[in-house]
Structures are given as structure tokens and as C-alpha cells.
């Protein structure tokens, strides 16, 4: 039987610690929560249709904090400002910073982040470059909602088991 006595509740100034908050991996802070609704996801791809598919799939899974950018330069800015927990990152993007350059910059940051690489060309070279940089997943385009959901489930299990 539940107690009906009410206690005054104060709102904490920061998220409550749980099994996943404040983990350290390779000396970097892991500030995520196991609550999927609190996971911040950054989509980095120059293809607006792919970003739309990813966003709609993630939002349908109630992952409401979904950010998107279309260039490597914007990705680094959003990463710094919004500190996402998970990044879906296209390997081949136009501009000075392609996906591998962005990946290298993210891996040098103080904040650890899970990264799932996206590519339309699953060449041995692309896979080797991504694997050498310890990516957390690799998805080949065209994507479908089931593969996106499986990648997200893998992220959640690996970080909040």
C-alpha cells in the first residue's frame, strides 16, 4: 500500500545522479542520463532529406532534444554550445571539415560523446578510418527507421546497462 503522506518537493538545480550520470570514459566527462527523453542528439549531414528522416524517426521515439546542422563547422559550434550525448555524423560533407575531421575534433574534446558515422559509400577505407577513431556505430545510407532505432538502442544499452 502506498503512503498518502505528501512531502514538500524541491526542484534540484541539476539533474539527479543516476547510474549513467557523470561517468568517466578515457578521462572525459559523460553527463548523460539514462532517460531517453533527456538524450541530446546532433545530426550532422549535408542532405536535408536524410536529416529530416533521422529527426522524424528520433522524435517518434520520444527523443525530443534533436539538433541538426549541415556542415562540419556548424557541427563543432553546436557541439560546443549544446553538448550532445550522441552524434549522427556523415563522413563525406562539402567544405573544409568533412566527417573525419569533425570526428577527430570531437575526440579531442574534454566531453566524451558517442558517434555513429553515416555514409553512402561503405568503402573499406571509410570503415577503417572510422574504426581507427573508435566510433560507436556505422550506418550505411539509405537509412530506414528500423536501423536508426537499432543504433539508438545499442547506444542506450552500451551507456546505461
Cβ-Cβ contacts under 8 Å for 33 (sequence gap 6 or more): 15, 18, 20, 21, 39
- CATH of 38-160 among 2.60.40.1930, 3.40.50.450, 3.40.50.2300, 3.30.300.30: 3.40.50.2300
| Grid cell listed for 123 | 568503402
Q: Residue holding cell 549541415?
A: 70
So what's the pLDDT on residue 71?
Answer: 97
The two beta strands, 86-90 and 114-119, are parallel
pLDDT per residue over 36-45, tens digit each?
Answer: 557 899 999 9
Q: Which residue has the higher pLDDT, 34 or 115?
A: 115
pLDDT per residue over 55-111, tens digit each?
Answer: 999 888 765 689 999 999 999 999 999 999 999 999 999 888 999 999 999 999 988
Cβ-Cβ contacts under 8 Å for 157 (sequence gap 6 or more): none
Using CA of residue 110, residue 69, residue 131, residue 40, what is the dihedral sign? positive
Q: Is 149 helix (H, G, I), strand (E, B) or coil?
A: helix
Amino acid at each position: 500500500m502506498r503512503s498518502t503522506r505528501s512531502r514538500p518537493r524541491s526542484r534540484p538545480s541539476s539533474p539527479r545522479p543516476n547510474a549513467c550520470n557523470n561517468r568517466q570514459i578515457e578521462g572525459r566527462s559523460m553527463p548523460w542520463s539514462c532517460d531517453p527523453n533527456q538524450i541530446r542528439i546532433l545530426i550532422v549531414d549535408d542532405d536535408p532529406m536524410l536529416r529530416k528522416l533521422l529527426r522524424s524517426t528520433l522524435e517518434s521515439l520520444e527523443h525530443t532534444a534533436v539538433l541538426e546542422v549541415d556542415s562540419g563547422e556548424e557541427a563543432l559550434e553546436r557541439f560546443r554550445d549544446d553538448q550532445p550525448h550522441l552524434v549522427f555524423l556523415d563522413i563525406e560533407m562539402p567544405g573544409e571539415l568533412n566527417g573525419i575531421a569533425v570526428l577527430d575534433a570531437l575526440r579531442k574534446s574534454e566531453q566524451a560523446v558517442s558517434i555513429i558515422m553515416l555514409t553512402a559509400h561503405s568503402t573499406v577505407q571509410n570503415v577503417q578510418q572510422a574504426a581507427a577513431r573508435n566510433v560507436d556505430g556505422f550506418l550505411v545510407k539509405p537509412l530506414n527507421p528500423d536501423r536508426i532505432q537499432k543504433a539508438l538502442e545499442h547506444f542506450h544499452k552500451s551507456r546505461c546497462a
